[in-house]
Structure 1
Amino acid sequence: MTSTPTEVAPAAPSALRRLLPGAPAGREARGSTLLRHLAVAVFFGTLVVLVTNQLAPYQNLQVARVCAFLCVTAGHTVLVGLNGQLSLGHGALMATGAYTMALTQQALDERAVRGWWTLPASLLAAVAVTALGGLVVGLAAARLRGPYLAGVTLAVATLVPAVTTIFTGVFNGEQGLPFPAQTPPAALGAYFQPERWLAWIALAAALLTMLLLANLVRSRFGRSLRAVRDDEVAARLAGIPVARTQVLAFVVSAACAGLGGGVYAMLTATVAPGKFPLDLSLFLLMAIVIGGLGSLAGAVWGAVLLVALQDLPGLLTEHLDLSAGLAQRLEGNLALAVFGLILIVVMLAAPGGLQGGVRAVGDRLRAALRRRRAPRRSPDR
């Protein structure tokens, strides 16, 4: 008797495999993942709060700025790294959240509305309006790929600052909108550092963003994002609505940018077009590439780099005896030049970004420890 060869179906991509019919629901796994993420958020939140108690006011503002940018870079990582859509307009989305935050606070102050809830309400308004903007951009960009998608988002990055300078009656032109100072609650004491309070608010926003995104990445929707990124045709054959997934990725990413912009408005005390230049979108994209597109941890590296490199020209002009003209040129170009140099070095040395390099080093150390702990075989006699 001759055996007939059996046809073996090709293996589905890893992101698709768990989306196919018959895949386990994993409800218990989702519950344990949520608890693990909550524990990590509580640990790092407690650690940062303890650190801020020992920092000077300016250093606490730096921590707050890192947290504000972390909201943006984390959402940007979901869009670019997990879904594969290139965006050059996240600086404009961040500006949208900041202006919405300032306008909402202004409207509440004009109506003499006071209370602890006004700040969260303004942040929610910033998130909602920016998410709506992300929906519009996502619908427009759903059929575009590559340079065409980048061109649409770049147009958004140039449109938003232009709108703020044209409608001066609403946005106050180049001078921008003032943002009221946020005083700490009386329960914290009369001498509690206001900058520390701002750092705590920004930290809460960043932790909430990271917690929600970490669980989203592990969810069915997160697997759909990766499946669409890896192979749109295979994802469509598996029943994934590709266009809707891409639009929702834009909405989620824009909402995070709006939250970061709202927190940033609270820190800068003035929301003006100069706070959100065109190169901010380029900085945000380079930050997540340098940090590592594959994970949310890379967004943390990117946020830290953003704040550190923005402060670099000021540190140089403070400690070096530079002329006024040279100091002005450094302030405008040094951060971009250093960012570009770091990007080249990281792409050559660690294509997976800083987080990918850290993960590779950790894997090698664990492999070395396993080899050392493995029992040695006696030589054969």
Structure 2
Amino acid sequence: MTEVQERAGTATAAGTRTKARRTLLRNLAIALVAAVVILALSYVLPPFRNYQLATVGAYVCVTAGLTVLTGLNGQLSLGHGALMAVGAYTLALVQNALAGRGQWTLVVAIVAGVALTTVVGAVVGLAAARLRGPYLAGLTLAVAVVVPAITSTFDKTFNSDQGISVSVDPPPLALGYSFPYERWQAWIAWTGALLTMLLLANLITSRFGRNLRAVRDDEAAARLAGVNVARTQVLAFVVSAACAGLGGALFAVLAQSVSPGAFPITLSLFLVMAIVIGGLGRLSGAVWGAVLLVLLPASTHSLTESISVSPALAQRLEGNLPLAIFGVVLIVVMLAFPGGIASLGRSLRNKFRSDKTNSRKA
């Protein structure tokens, strides 16, 4: 009996390894196709659109990490804008300290931003593992308030509200003297985005991903199944914080400056609404959410410019109109497609099959 059990266990383990290998190869193929598409787009789009494409890539890092935390693990965070600020400020300080020493310094600065944000995420995650519901949201909201206050307190280091300029080297000379800088930005941002998506896609299909969903669905049942609930929740926060730090670091590279005004509390609200509209719990929904985060504010900016209003009203609309439009879009999408934009294809496919079945019966 023991020999039979050992053979069954060996066969199960072999089957699991084969499935994991197939999943890895599939995700690599998807990432490779996406890289080719982004590369082609970067050559077709004009400079400003390339900058928008790069901004989408930076947002993808953040929304993908938030999808893992909120969509797959059920922890609501209203402080991811602050975690982005940690990554951005770390990159600015490290990059400025290493400026002029070669292209490799940017990689070091990005890694430093991700590392420090991961540490901050671990600290917040340890506290968050003890909280639920509105208490967890309140904790993360407090983080979003504290981080900008730190920049004002240590103004000699962070230059208070004026922020810090980031010294970024031009594209490598191997690409040519006239290589567009915006295209180089798009390559940098989407390299980080595709690596993030590839790692998370493999992570959520692993045992850790199953633990995330088990804790989200029922903590008591997960605990009885042998899942360490607290450790799973902390690790989810750590992974999500690392992604937010990468996104913040990329934003610093794109804007070439960092200031508290770039990471307001409303940014954290936009991020949560974006993953809900895109499709909560789906990495494809994170991509849709990142696209909306770039396109909707740009559309509202164009709208306010086309309306003849006083400068004071225009300034007020500029700050509040994007949030209002996001809210309207959220309501419409939730009524039409409760699973978000990412579920649109599946909903249409199911409707087509249902109509086809009904027509056969008729």
TM-score (norm 2): 0.93
Would the aligned equivalents of 1:294 and 1:352 in 2 still touch at CA under 8 Å? Answer: no
Corresponding residue SS for 1:315: helix
- Pick closer, same or farther for the CA change 1:320–1:248 going to 2, 3 Å: same
Q: Distance in 2 between matches of 1:43 and 1:249?
A: 28
Q: Distance in 2 between matches of 1:371 and 1:183?
A: 61
Name the % identity. Answer: 61
1:156 alignment partner in structure 2: 143
Counting only pairs closer than 5 Å after superposition, residues 127-276 of structure 1 correspond to structure 2 as 127-276=114-263
Would the aligned equivalents of 1:86 and 1:146 in 2 still touch at CA under 8 Å? Answer: yes
Corresponding residue SS for 1:88: coil
Q: Distance in 2 between matches of 1:224 and 1:22?
A: 22
2:60 alignment partner in structure 1: 70
- Pick closer, same or farther for the CA change 1:23–1:315 going to 2, 3 Å: farther
Corresponding residue SS for 2:48: helix
Q: Which runs of 5+ in 2 are unaligned?
A: 1-8
2:41 alignment partner in structure 1: 51
Q: Distance in 1 between matches of 2:353 and 2:88?
A: 44
How far off its partner does 1:273 sit?
Answer: 0.3
Corresponding residue SS for 2:12: coil
2:347 alignment partner in structure 1: 360
Structure 1 vs Structure 2 CA RMSD: 1.8
How far off its partner does 1:245 sit?
Answer: 0.3
Q: Which residue, out of 32, 35, 39, partners 1:42?
A: 32
Q: Distance in 2 between matches of 1:315 and 1:182?
A: 32
Deviations 1:83-124 (A, max 9, x none): 000110000001111001101112213xx5x12211111111
Q: Distance in 1 between matches of 2:141 and 2:90?
A: 21
Q: Does the alignment pair 1:94 with 2:78? A: no
Corresponding residue SS for 1:53: helix
Q: Which runs of 5+ in 1 are unaligned?
A: 1-20
Amino acid of the structure 2 residue aligned with 1:115: G
Would the aligned equivalents of 1:68 and 1:260 in 2 still touch at CA under 8 Å? Answer: yes
Would the aligned equivalents of 2:106 and 2:168 in 1 still touch at CA under 8 Å? Answer: no
- Pick closer, same or farther for the CA change 1:272–1:249 going to 2, 3 Å: same
Q: Does the alignment pair 1:306 with 2:296? A: no
2:22 alignment partner in structure 1: 32
Would the aligned equivalents of 1:126 and 1:258 in 2 still touch at CA under 8 Å? Answer: yes
Amino acid of the structure 2 residue aligned with 1:61: Y
Amino acid of the structure 2 residue aligned with 1:104: V
How far off its partner does 1:23 sit?
Answer: 9.7
Max Rg structure: 1
Q: Hey, which of these two has a bigger chunk of helix by percent? A: 2
1:9 alignment partner in structure 2: none
Deviations 1:245-272 (A, max 9, x none): 0000000000000000000001111100
Would the aligned equivalents of 2:70 and 2:281 in 1 still touch at CA under 8 Å? Answer: no
Deviations 1:117-145 (A, max 9, x none): 11111111111000100000000111110
Q: Distance in 2 between matches of 1:364 and 1:296?
A: 23
Q: Which residue, out of 326, 340, 347, partners 1:339?
A: 326
Q: Distance in 2 between matches of 1:299 and 1:205?
A: 15
Question: Greater CA deviation, 307-316 or 122-131?
Answer: 307-316
Q: Does the alignment pair 1:116 with 2:106? A: no
Amino acid of the structure 1 residue aligned with 2:92: A
